[in-house]
Amino acid sequence: MMDAIDRNLLDLLQRDASLASDRLAERLNLSASQVRRRRARLEAEGYIRSITARLDPTRLGLDVQAFVQVQMASHAPEGARALLRQLETEPRVASVWTLTGEADYLLRVWCPDLGSLNDLVHNVLLPHPAVARVQSQIVMAQPKRDGPLPI
């Protein structure tokens, strides 16, 4: 069961996962060993899925971010599974969501340029037999960065 200290620990970690136990301990008014035990328990219970670094896409040459809506031609399970397997291995696709409404999937993609986005749409997505329609929106700016979850 989570208490207020666990919630504060999770909030601190999602804002900066590089904080060492001693720094977390100072902010939580605990000992470093208590912080390590709580963190280990939260990891074991699945509250913390992974610790990752947020990279700067521009520094990596990924200048185009887009959201791509995919509408399926059919909702046959084998077609959907085949498409999801392909998307899982496509490095330009950062994340995939299933949706209600007109589109079946929403993809967040990162590409070095518009040519790469065009290649993804026209040579990867549209030729797939399960795909009926693709619509993309290119991100012009991101005024609010991906933030922490409300805890």
Report domain extents, the chain.
4-44, 64-138
Q: Is 101 exposed, middle or buried (0-12, 13-18, 19+ CB in 10 A)?
A: exposed
Give the pLDDT band of residue 2 (cuts 50, 70, 90): very high
Fold of domain 64-138:
Alpha-Beta Plaits (3.30.70)
> What tokens does 105 get?
């999937």
**Considering the entire predicted model, what is its pTM?**
0.87
- Predicted pLDDT of residue 15: 94
Give the pLDDT band of residue 75 (cuts 50, 70, 90): confident
CA dihedral for 28, 32, 36, 37, sign (positive or negative): negative
Task: Answer yes or no: is pLDDT of 8 > 90.
Answer: yes
Angle at 56 between CA 53 and CA 58, to 5 degrees: 160
**Where does 4-44 sit in CATH, by number?**
1.10.10
In this structure, what DSSP letter does residue 143 have? S
pLDDT in tens, 37-59: 999 999 999 999 999 989 999 99
Q: Is 92 exposed, middle or buried (0-12, 13-18, 19+ CB in 10 A)?
A: buried
Give the pLDDT band of residue 121 (cuts 50, 70, 90): very high
CA dihedral for 21, 26, 27, 30, sign (positive or negative): positive
Measured distance CA(36)–CA(20) in Å, rounded: 9
